[in-house]
Amino acid sequence: MVVCSIFVSGGGNNRGMDETTDGGLGQLAAVLDVVVAMASATSGDASGLLAVVAGVDGLCDRLAAVRMGLLHDAEMVREPGLSVAERLHATNRVSRASSRSDVRLAKDLADRFPVVARAWRDGTLSGQQARGIVAGLKHLPLALSPSQLETCQSEVVAFADRLDPDELRVLAQRMAEVVDPDHAEALEADRVERDARIAFQRRSMVVYPDHHGSMLIRGQVPIADGQLFLAQLEALMPSAASYQLAGEVPERSARRADAFVRWCGITASSGQLPAVGGDRPQVLLSLTLETLMKGLGAGALLASGEPISAGEARRLCCDAQVIPAVLGGPSEVLDVGRSHRFFTKAIRAALVLRDLGCAFPGCDAPPAACDAHHHTPWWAGGTTCVANGVLLCAYHHRLVEPDPDRSAEVQWQILLDPETGLPWFTPPRQIDPARVPRLHHRFLLRGTSPPTHLEGRATPPSLQPSPHWHS
């Protein structure tokens, strides 16, 4: 263990002060060299490396506490008109918001929370634990005297070895039960009511494109409303098994985004949305016939003017949730969503009865979250009927949507069993070199066994546009 002591003279000339400071910084650099040497010596030993990490974390936390004291001292002796936060930000090592937050915390620790400051400096608390305690105590629903505040700090710090920063913050918020137990329940009710009013006033939702193919969604709602929404997303969260055959196991945040897409699909299919301009809410999409059929050109345009790829346009054009406006020549309208190109309610009902949800193997999306997909695209001569349709969630719809510019062997193929009518999915060769067709487990559990006439069948009919198809 290396102990480094730094003494800063309170008087004397500037040269002596500079020499002392330089010497102290040199000692800090020496400590860094020792840590690097310790890490090198324990290389290959996970337990040894983690022990070094724990030591580094403890040292960094104590240095951070000392830094807070230095910031407060600098704020106390600064010249009029000088901002310590702005000077800190001028180093370009911290953001302006972070520098201001640090200066405020340094002042709070010195003026209001000295017990927390001492525990942070001596290593009893980590930096995150100290910040959590301060945040919790600052949100107590009553004004505390200095002695009461000191009692609260001591009580919470005593749990530092058992609770993490979030748990310490919650405990600090409940310190009213220690200092005023007779009125704690009423005080807590007042705090909750106040927080609810503030949350309602701050509610917001901002949705805008990032102009790189994504839509950014940011907002906040009262906790009860947010919890209701979160519960719905959790219920619609795709299982990890839903992605395994696609060769992807996304992060939980990505799975939650897919759940949000499912939620939107279910809401749009519910028939409960109000009419807009005399019609149900809909997405307008414009693209050229060549883009739709061959994937050529810049893609398609949404009504907002944002571009999407030709592949995304073909996926959206499968179902009646989107009205395609196919243009030719000088913006001549060739087709504006002919009804016979879309799955009717009767056909969709038949698909629901057959597929019972997303038909892709392993997926658990319910029927309301699925699109009806032409497995032989209508731009390639496919008809709109049960025999040419399959239910797919948005994620797997995007996965299997055929691309005319790519070889069939590197794309997912859908085959309908002529005897049972059930959809089989043939994986691309990069996922399964044998390209063995697969069926959703819900049909296997019903006793359906792989038909012998599909074994080894890996290449579907051509996806090239039919010469008889026209606008």
Condensed to tens digits (0 to 9), the pLDDT of residues 284-319 reads 566 666 665 555 445 555 655 566 666 666 666 665
| pLDDT on residue 241 | 76
Q: Which residue has the higher pLDDT, 167 or 176?
A: 167
pLDDT range class, residue 67, cuts 50, 70, 90: very high
CA distance 116 to 165: 13
Give yes or no: residues 326 and 416 share one domain. Answer: no
Average pLDDT, integer, range 220-226: 81
Q: Which residue has the higher pLDDT, 329 or 49?
A: 49
Average pLDDT, integer, range 233-258: 82
| pLDDT on residue 467 | 32
Task: Tell me how far CA of residue 163 lies from CA of 136, 168, 210, 469, in angstroms.
Answer: 14, 6, 40, 68
CA distance 367 to 351: 9
pLDDT range class, residue 109, cuts 50, 70, 90: very high
Average pLDDT, integer, range 430-447: 81
CA distance 32 to 107: 29
Name the 3-class secondary structure at 303: coil
Domain-embedded: residue 245: no
| pLDDT on residue 105 | 93
Q: Which residue has the higher pLDDT, 384 or 370?
A: 370
Containing 426, the helix (H) or strand (E) segment is strand 423-426
Given a cut of 70, whether residue 278 has pLDDT beyond it is no
Average pLDDT, integer, range 50-76: 90
Give yes or no: residues 348 and 319 share one domain. Answer: no
Choose the final residue of a domain: 180, 200, 220. Answer: 200
**Average pLDDT of the chain?**
76
The share of the chain scoring above pLDDT 70, in percent, equals 70
Give yes or no: residues 168 and 84 share one domain. Answer: yes
The separation between CA 247 and the C-alpha centre of its own chain, rounded to angstroms, equals 20
Choose the final residue of a domain: 304, 322, 342. Answer: 342
Given a cut of 50, whether residue 468 has pLDDT beyond it is no
Instruction: State both tokens at 406.
Output: 């790519």
Among candidate residues 462, 317, 425, the one with its CA nearest the CA of residue 378: 317
Domain-embedded: residue 222: no
Given a cut of 50, whether residue 28 has pLDDT beyond it is yes
Give yes or no: residues 328 and 348 share one domain. Answer: no
Give yes or no: residues 379 and 405 share one domain. Answer: yes
| Side chain identity, residue 204 | S
Q: How many domains is the chain partitioned into structurally?
A: 3
Average pLDDT, integer, range 322-326: 48
| pLDDT on residue 30 | 75
Give yes or no: residues 352 and 308 share one domain. Answer: no
Give yes or no: residues 295 and 380 share one domain. Answer: no
Domain-embedded: residue 372: yes
User: Of 189-198, 268-277, 324-333, which one has max mean pLDDT?
Assistant: 189-198
Given a cut of 60, whether residue 43 has pLDDT beyond it is yes
Domain-embedded: residue 45: yes
pTM score: 0.46
Given a cut of 90, whether residue 68 has pLDDT beyond it is yes
Instruction: Mark out the alpha helices in 270-405 (DSSP H runs).
Output: 289-294, 310-316, 345-355, 394-400
Q: What does DSSP say about strands 332-336 and 322-328: parallel, antiparallel, or unpaired?
A: antiparallel
| Residue 70 CB neighbour total at 10 angstroms | 13
The share of the chain scoring above pLDDT 90, in percent, equals 17
Q: Which residue has the higher pLDDT, 188 or 273?
A: 188
pLDDT range class, residue 334, cuts 50, 70, 90: very low
Average pLDDT, integer, range 335-344: 52
CB 390 within 8 A of CB 359: yes
Range of the domain at 309: 282-342
Give yes or no: residues 23 and 163 share one domain. Answer: yes
Q: Which residue has the higher pLDDT, 116 or 80?
A: 116
Give yes or no: residues 24 and 164 share one domain. Answer: yes
Domain-embedded: residue 209: no
Domain-embedded: residue 255: no
Choose the final residue of a domain: 148, 183, 200. Answer: 200
Domain-embedded: residue 277: no
Average pLDDT, integer, range 123-145: 87
Give yes or no: residues 287 and 311 share one domain. Answer: yes
- Positive or negative, the CA dihedral 95, 100, 101, 102 is positive
Give yes or no: residues 357 and 310 share one domain. Answer: no
Q: Summarize pLDDT for 421-437 with one digit per residue, the tens.
A: 889 999 998 888 998 88
Give yes or no: residues 18 and 94 share one domain. Answer: yes
* Range from 38-52, 64-78, 135-149, 284-298 carrying the lowest mean pLDDT: 284-298
Given a cut of 70, whether residue 208 has pLDDT beyond it is yes
Domain-embedded: residue 269: no
